[in-house]
């Protein structure tokens, strides 16, 4: 090879090397897997349909086809362990069912490396902290999904707070982030729960959290707004809490589907939600579809139509480098691999 050709070749190689800090991919940060076992049990509990959706398995292949349809690169794929261990499901062995659900999630992300696997656990089952260790050590999962409404966890109850604390302690120790559906079943949920949330987080100074649905459960109502106001105010007032480690996701906030218990937000409510997201900083706010409620494409269309963010802001919300969330600011990974890009093998 002549010197000229060789230097041209070298230049091309250099050009093709991705810049780690520039890794920006369109990411759906909130998609639910549903294993065949979980789909079966859910049908047994509620019948063939839920929210107008025919209950069927949601595998890694399902998620990837929805990402392709919407032009997305990757997603957080959430284990259904929190669902199969919900009290109403009547699991005879919640610890084993948790293992089975998390193993299913691990297998899906192994086959589909565009997905980042999140384990889940019901904090109230026996052996919940050990299930977090198992998810990391045995299954290589990279985050933890908790659903306090499904698991019926209420921080106003001492025992529940201790159980959740033990699970968060494990996640923090293992360096994995928590995607937290915090809204619970308490009809008086609101500002006071925001105080309890911040108090709990203050005890886990290294834990990274993505607060799902802006702190609610989709839609937008007074309780969610009061909660979020409390959380943001306390983080703003006390820098030692570490603003950098709290992310908010928009999953389901703009949802217009008539879902029991969900308050469809009006324009004024959504404008206030957008103002609060901007106040927090859009570098710490992200898009998520909440599939299997809506597909990535449907949820994005609906959110863009109803949430008054600018085009530039939407780019920020959708195209993310998720490394600092998954691995921490120093890139200390505890999952499948430490990488500038979370897409393993792509």
Shortest separation between residue 81's beta carbon and Zn ion, angstroms: 13
As a whole number of angstroms, the distance between CA 43 and CA 284 comes to 36
Nearest Cα to 285, choosing from 335, 309, 250, 234?
Answer: 250
Minimum CB distance to Zn ion, residue 13 (Å)? 42
Nearer to Zn ion, 290 or 321 (CB): 290
Query: Please, what is the minimum distance in Å from the beta carbon of residue 33 to Zn ion?
Result: 11
CA 153 to chain CA mean position, Å: 18
Q: Which two tokens stand for residue 232?
A: 């943001």
Residue with tokens 């494409």: 297
Cβ proximity to Zn ion, 290 vs 302, nearer residue: 290
Nearer to Zn ion among residue 23 and residue 264 (C-beta): 264
Minimum Å gap between C-beta 68 and Zn ion is 21
Residue (91 or 210) nearer to Zn ion, CB: 210
DSSP state of 52: T
CB of residue 32 to Zn ion, shortest distance in Å:
6
Residues of this chain that interact with Zn ion (CB under 5 A) are: 290
In the complex, minimum distance from the CB of residue 149 to Zn ion, in angstroms, rounded to a whole number: 10
In degrees and rounded to multiples of 5, residue 330 shows phi and psi of -95, 10
Q: By C-beta, is 221 or 290 nearer to Zn ion?
A: 290
- CB count in 10 Å sphere of residue 33: 29
How far is Cα 140 from Cα 135, in angstroms, rounded to an integer?
6
Specify which residues 110 forms β-bridges with: none
Residue nearest to Zn ion (CB): 290
Q: Quick one: 118 or 334, whose CB is closer to Zn ion?
A: 118
DSSP 125-169: STTHHHHHHHHHHTT---EEEEETTTTT--TTSHHHHHHHHHHHH
């Amino acid at each position: 090879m002549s010197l000229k050709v060789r230097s041209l070749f070298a230049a091309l190689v250099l050009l093709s090397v991705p810049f780690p800090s520039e890794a920006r991919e369109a990411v759906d940060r909130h998609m639910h897997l549903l294993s065949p076992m979980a789909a079966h049990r859910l049908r047994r509990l509620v019948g063939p349909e839920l929210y107008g959706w025919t209950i069927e398995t949601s595998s890694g292949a399902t998620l990837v086809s929805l990402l392709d349809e919407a032009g997305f690169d990757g997603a957080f794929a959430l284990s259904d362990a929190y669902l199969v261990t919900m009290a109403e499901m009547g699991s005879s062995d919640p610890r084993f069912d948790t293992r089975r659900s998390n193993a299913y999630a691990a297998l899906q992300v192994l086959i589909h490396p565009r997905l980042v696997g999140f384990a889940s656990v019901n904090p109230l089952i026996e052996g919940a902290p050990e299930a977090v260790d198992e998810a990391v050590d045995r299954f290589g999962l990279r985050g933890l999904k908790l659903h306090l409404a499904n698991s019926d966890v209420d921080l106003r109850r001492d025992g529940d707070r201790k159980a959740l604390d033990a699970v968060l302690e494990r996640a923090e120790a293992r360096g994995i982030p928590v995607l937290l559906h915090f809204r619970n079943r308490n009809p008086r949920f609101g500002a006071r729960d925001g105080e309890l949330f911040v108090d709990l987080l203050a005890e886990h100074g290294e834990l990274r959290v993505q607060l799902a649905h802006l702190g609610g459960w989709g839609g937008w109502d007074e309780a969610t707004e009061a909660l979020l106001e409390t959380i943001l105010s306390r983080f703003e007032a006390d820098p030692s809490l570490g603003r950098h480690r709290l992310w908010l996701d928009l999953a389901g906030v703009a949802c217009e589907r008539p879902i029991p218990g969900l308050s469809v937000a009006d324009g004024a409510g959504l404008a206030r939600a957008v103002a609060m997201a901007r106040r927090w900083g859009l570098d710490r706010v992200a898009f998520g579809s909440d599939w299997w409620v809506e597909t990535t494409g449907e949820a994005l269309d609906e959110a863009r139509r109803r949430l008054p963010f600018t085009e530039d802001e939407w780019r920020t919300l959708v195209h993310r480098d998720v490394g600092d969330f998954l691995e921490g600011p120093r890139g200390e990974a505890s999952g499948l691999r430490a990488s500038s890009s979370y897409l393993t093998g792509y």
